[in-house]
């Protein structure tokens, strides 16, 4: 497997995907912990569908998809956050309506624009060929921003994740940090969608964190475990997809699923 890994990294497009993938996995597992622990994992899923709709519109309008999607998905993230917190409306249903509508709109627009050459599958399931040099640069910039912001606010993020009511009472700006988290989540979704696909990117936010919950007793430890697991699963998934010529996104998600099962077993027998 190591020989295959070294061999595949000789290809420029795989090297780009490798670097982008490492950045995406680090960022998604950082943010994922808070979303999963607050039972807001579906925000990631909803946003990925919005990202698909936005990218479809951008492609049809011949605009750079990532730059176009980032503000739209960021606004949707804040909207979804508000919907999920609003006790007066059924937040879950509202998120489902928004995400399904965005997915339907994207599919509809792509199908009626027959003159535009778009591979629907690559948007939905991701493609290792999709990461251009420009995408990689954007990915690095966005990745650095996400990691920096998370590290800067990690203690506040812990406080609002553990006990929002207490955090609010002692004067932590809970709404501000919720908005920051939702925005960071939207950035990850957009940069990760090209490689993992709209249907699978949210799994990168959820799986490593769930596995880490079985391995660590502390918040800090669970985030470190989540990042390490996510990177290992990404490298294994990418390499296997290269060897077996399987879809990269799906293979990475399956590697994460195996890691989750192994973590659960470890937790049961230890």
Partner 1 sequence: MTVLQIKNLSLKYGNHYIFRNLSFAIEKNDFLCIVGPNGSGKSTLLKCLLGEIKPNQGKIQFENHSQRRVIGYLPQNPHHSPSFPASVYEVVASGSLNQIGLFSRYPKQKIEKALDTLHIADIARQQFSTLSGGQRQRVLLARALVASSNLLILDEPSNNLDYNSKQEFYRTLEKLNKSTTILMVTHDLDHNNLIGNKILSLDPNLPFFGTTKEYVRRIHAH
Question: Would you tell me which residues interact with partner 1 (CB under 8 A)?
Answer: 37, 39, 152-153, 155-156, 158-159, 162-163, 165-172, 212-214, 216-222
CA distances from 78 to 3, 107, 161 (A): 44, 24, 17
> Between 7 and 163, whose beta carbon lies closer to partner 1?
163
Nearest approach in angstroms of CB 44 to partner 1 is: 18
Note whether 258 and 20 are within 8 A (CB): no
Nearest approach in angstroms of CB 91 to partner 1 is: 18
Helix (H, G, I), strand (E, B) or coil at 86: coil
> Between 13 and 264, whose beta carbon lies closer to partner 1?
264
The residues, ordered by sequence, that sit 6+ positions from 177 with a Cβ below 8 Å of its Cβ are: 153, 156, 157, 160
> Between 1 and 152, whose beta carbon lies closer to partner 1?
152
Note whether 133 and 17 are within 8 A (CB): no
Nearest approach in angstroms of CB 194 to partner 1 is: 31
Radius of gyration of the chain (CA): 18
Helix (H, G, I), strand (E, B) or coil at 163: coil
> Between 54 and 159, whose beta carbon lies closer to partner 1?
159
Nearest approach in angstroms of CB 162 to partner 1 is: 6
The percent helix, strand, coil of the chain (3-state, each to 5) is: 85, 0, 15
Question: What distance in Å separates the CA atoms of residue 216 and residue 265, rounded to the nearest whole number?
Answer: 14
Question: What distance in Å separates the CA atoms of residue 131 and residue 244, rounded to the nearest whole number?
Answer: 20
How big is the chain, counted in residues?
A: 270
Nearest approach in angstroms of CB 166 to partner 1 is: 5
> Between 159 and 260, whose beta carbon lies closer to partner 1?
159
> Between 115 and 171, whose beta carbon lies closer to partner 1?
171
Nearest approach in angstroms of CB 259 to partner 1 is: 16
């Amino acid at each position: 497997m190591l020989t295959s890994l070294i061999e595949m990294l000789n290809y420029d497009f795989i090297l780009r995907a490798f670097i982008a993938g490492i950045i995406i996995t680090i960022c998604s597992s950082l943010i994922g912990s808070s979303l999963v622990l607050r039972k807001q994992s579906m925000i990631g899923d909803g946003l990925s569908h919005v990202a698909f709709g936005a990218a479809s519109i951008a492609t049809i309008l011949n605009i750079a998809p990532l730059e176009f999607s980032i503000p739209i998905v960021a606004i949707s993230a804040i909207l979804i956050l508000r919907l999920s917190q609003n006790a007066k409306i059924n937040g879950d249903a509202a998120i489902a309506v928004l995400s399904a509508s965005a997915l339907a709109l994207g599919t509809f627009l792509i199908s009626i624009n027959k003159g535009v050459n778009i591979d629907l599958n690559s948007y939905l399931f991701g493609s290792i060929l999709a990461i251009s040099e420009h995408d990689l640069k954007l990915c690095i910039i966005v990745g650095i921003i996400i990691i920096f912001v998370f590290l800067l606010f990690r203690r506040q993020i812990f406080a609002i994740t553990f006990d929002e009511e207490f955090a609010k009472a002692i004067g932590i700006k809970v709404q501000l940090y919720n908005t920051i988290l939702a925005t960071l989540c939207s950035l990850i979704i957009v940069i990760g969608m090209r490689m993992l696909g709209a249907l699978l990117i949210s799994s990168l936010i959820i799986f490593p964190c769930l596995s880490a919950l079985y391995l660590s007793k502390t918040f800090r430890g669970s985030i470190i475990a989540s990042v390490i697991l996510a990177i290992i699963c990404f490298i294994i998934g990418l390499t296997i997809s290269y060897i077996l010529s399987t879809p990269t996104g799906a293979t990475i998600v399956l590697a994460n699923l195996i890691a989750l099962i192994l973590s659960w077993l470890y937790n049961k027998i230890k």
